[in-house]
Amino acid sequence: MEIFSKELTDTDVRVRFSFPTHCLEHLDFAGSNFVDLRVKDSCGELRVIRCLKRNGDYEKPVLSRGWLKFVADYGLRVGDKAVLLREDDHSLGSQFRIEARRRIVLFGGEAWGEVTRAT
């Protein structure tokens, strides 16, 4: 199940990644203002990415610690897309899967292709 899909902005690739507030319903903060998400990436590696939410009336969530390493590992840039999906992998201990996608133009049509890890 897809939780969110978002085209990356300059702030997303340089500082932190913000995503829609309605996605908070899929995360368990257990009374805290942050949760460490155990996420499987496209290569099957377990990553821990911290999700913070603001206190107060506007709880805008952001991915912080661990996010910029994911950006660097996959060579992400403005205009690429990040997708977070709900996917339990009991052997890995993850609850989510994160994918990176890049717009490709092929024979005059556009599509989104999966981005693999930068080497």
In tens, the pLDDT along 44-83 reads: 999 999 999 987 777 889 999 999 999 999 999 999 999 9
Beta bridge partners of 81: 7, 101
pTM, entire model: 0.86
Structure tokens at 107: 């024979």
Three-point CA angle 75, 29, 19, nearest 5° = 40
Q: What is the pLDDT of residues 99-118, one digit of tens each?
A: 999 988 888 888 787 887 76
DSSP state of 115: P
